Amino acid sequence: MTHPAATLIFLLLIALVIALGFMAGRWKAGNLAHIEEWGLGGRRFGTWVSWFLIGGDAYTAYTFIAIPALMFGAGALGFFALPYTVVCYPILYLVFPRLWNVARARGYITGPEFVRGRYGNKYLALAVGLTGIVATMPYIALQLVGLQTVIGALGLPGHLPLVAALIVLAAFTWTAGLRAPAMISIVKDLLIYLTVLAAIIVIPAELGGFGAIFAKVDPAKLLLPVPHAHSGGLYTGYATLALGSAMALFLYPHTMTGILSSSGPRVIKRNAALLPAYTIMLGLLALVGYMAVAAGVRSMPQFAASFAKYGTSFAVPALVLHAFPAWFAGVAFGAIAIGALVPAAIMAIAAANIFTRDIWGPFFTAGGTHGSALTAKLFAMVMILGALAFVLGLPSTYAVQLQLLGGMWVIQTFPAIALSLFTRFFNGWALLLGWAAGIASATWLAAEKGFSGSIWAFHIGGYSLPSYIALATVLLNVLVAGALSPVCNAIANDRARDETRAEDYV
Amino acid sequence: MIKFLLFLVVFVLALAVPVYNRITPELFGFPFFYWYQIAIVPVASLLIFIVYRLDERGSADK
């Protein structure tokens, strides 16, 4: 144990969170054997709990490590996280209150269930559901990588601490369901806000102010490079990365679960105006990457081994150890670790809801599609153990690459979920073909980039238009689905299979 | 209609990269690129809140 004071504080915070996680089962009492209670908290969370829950869910430990790491390594490009987490809120406001309404009216607890009800097509719902589960797996694994990084920074030995944290996570997820991360997210966010506030007050003072920090950053990385003539350059790359990421954000099972667990459309709309507070925090946190550059942590001998092991992801932990007193480093690491456990729990629960309602129910049981909380609980354990095996068994670059692909895949459910809330123009089979075209083209382009980049330069009439692969391929997806819908309707019209009514949406 | 215009403003403010990809004017040592993108966050929040109030008033009339 190389940092005893920090480790002690860290362990105390984790213990507090464990206690809260188990107490959460008794909060806003409901029958936890029922999946709507276990997996959706009974749709009862008000404005403030939802603010903490969705914030804790969308702004994860991986974000807290990865975005500053991207700034630390690549510079200005990493700041796309800001426009990304601004434009996602008009989308949240316009699209998701309608999803909440129809989900409440029809008893849906997942996005794919809505798709199945809308088109009467369980195969389309299966495609949408599997996309969500597959995109979520590497995301959970990355939370564990974040957890592993801070455990490593504290100098705790071996894999035992990670395994212990995961067993605890599994235990309170089993007993309390979504209530556990909802309650813990409050502690997590208070700690994160405290850490960020301390970072932007203490560290710049040590380094001679923000002017001095920006002056230490390579001038070539401080701004996006100006594009050449006849090219959108990184300008279109940056904007499409922000827009595409924003469209995908609330399609992930865990964020959608966070939204559907709120007590109504007004709560969602209010949160579209309140959640940007997290974006300001994220922007300040991104700049911690530059503070790490200015402090010169990379060339400090005591961190050399960890940088070799974790790469730029170690920038934030290194700066925390370097700039803060030991006890506060414990608080900061506690915040990051809890920031990994909250979304990991919600991700496991959300994937389990989809498995129960959209895979197990319709395909493996006779008749009943509602499923029990027990099926969901078991599958949540599978997700957590799978993520643990992933992290212990495979190099972390696989998780990063799969997460990159996950974003490109999950956006392919935008037409089936988001557009279907506004129109019944599409045919279910045509949406499935559009989805396949989107998934195939996105995967192919990402493979061409060696799974290490997400921007592709498209050439249109002598003009180069670099674009986030996800955004370009979801356009193809919509075009295919739109063009084939009249054709599919001529062969097998599915209009009559829509179980939803116009009044369900408002 | 005004609702969509306000949301359009949010998208334009956030995605007009060529406009904000510059160093000057600086604020508290922050290059323009950085403080601008942080500064539009509360603006976006306010615009969304205005839309919410308009919606609430709209549904109260019904």
Query: What CATH number should be reported for the domain holding residue A334?
Result: 1.20.1730.10
In angstroms, the CA A381 to CA A172 distance is 11
Which domain range does residue A50 map to? 4-396
Tens digit of each residue's pLDDT (9 = 90 or more) over A153-184: 887 776 788 888 888 888 888 888 888 888 88
Q: Is residue A491 part of a domain?
A: no
Query: Residues A27, A184: contact at Cβ < 8 Å?
Result: no
The ranges assigned to domains in chain B are: 2-61
Average pLDDT, chain A: 88
Tens digit of each residue's pLDDT (9 = 90 or more) over A116-151: 999 999 999 999 999 999 998 888 888 888 888 888
In angstroms, the CA A98 to CA A269 distance is 11
Task: State which amino acid sits at residue B26.
Answer: E
B52 to A90: CB separation less than 8 angstroms, yes or no: no
| Nearest chain B Cα distance for residue A208, angstroms | 11
How many CB atoms neighbour CB B27 within 10 A?
14
Q: Which helix (H) or strand (E) holds A354?
A: helix A326-354
B25 upstream amide cis, omega within 30 of 0: yes
Name residue A468's beta-bridge partners: A455
Q: Is residue A87 part of a domain?
A: yes
Q: For residue A369, what pLDDT is reported?
A: 53
Partners of B46 on chain A (C-beta within 8 Å) are 273
Of the candidates B15, B42, B49, the beta carbon closest to that of A242 is on B15
Q: What's the CA dihedral at A300, A305, A311, A317 to 10 degrees? A: -60
By the CB < 8 Å criterion, does A94 face chain B? Answer: yes
Q: For residue A394, what pLDDT is reported?
A: 78
Closest residue in chain A to residue B54, using alpha carbons only: A269
Q: For residue B60, what pLDDT is reported?
A: 62
In angstroms, the CA A10 to CA A151 distance is 9
Closest residue in chain A to residue B35, using alpha carbons only: A283
Q: For residue A367, what pLDDT is reported?
A: 61
Instruction: Name every residue whose Cβ is closer than 8 Å to that of residue B5 and which is 6 or more positions away in sequence.
Output: none
Q: For residue A370, what pLDDT is reported?
A: 62
A83 to B42: CB separation less than 8 angstroms, yes or no: no
In angstroms, the CA A414 to CA A99 distance is 12
Q: What share of chain B is helix, strand, coil (3-state, %, to 5)?
A: 75, 5, 20
In this structure, what are the phi and psi dihedrals at residue A39, rounded to the nearest 5 degrees?
-95, -10
Q: Is residue A455 part of a domain?
A: no
Q: Is residue A502 part of a domain?
A: no
Q: Is residue A122 part of a domain?
A: yes
Of the candidates A82, A214, A272, the beta carbon closest to that of B37 is on A82
Q: For residue A409, what pLDDT is reported?
A: 95
Q: For residue B61, what pLDDT is reported?
A: 53
Name residue A458's beta-bridge partners: A465
The interaxial angle of helices A122-153 and A111-119, nearest 10 deg, is: 170
Residues of chain A under the 70 pLDDT cut: 1, 28-29, 158, 367-371
Q: Is residue A405 part of a domain?
A: no
Q: Is residue A401 part of a domain?
A: no
Of the candidates A214, A238, A243, the beta carbon closest to that of B29 is on A214
| Nearest chain A Cα distance for residue B61, angstroms | 16
Region B6-17 average pLDDT: 95
| Domains in chain A, number | 1
Reply yes or no on whether the pLDDT at B52 is more than 80: yes
ipTM for this prediction: 0.94
The interaxial angle of helices A179-207 and A4-23, nearest 10 deg, is: 150
More reliable by pLDDT, A92 or B24: A92
CB–CB contacts below 8 A, A to B: 99
Q: For residue A1, what pLDDT is reported?
A: 56
Partners of B33 on chain A (C-beta within 8 Å) are 76, 79, 222-224
Q: Is residue A354 part of a domain?
A: yes
Q: For residue B33, what pLDDT is reported?
A: 95
In angstroms, the CA A415 to CA A262 distance is 23
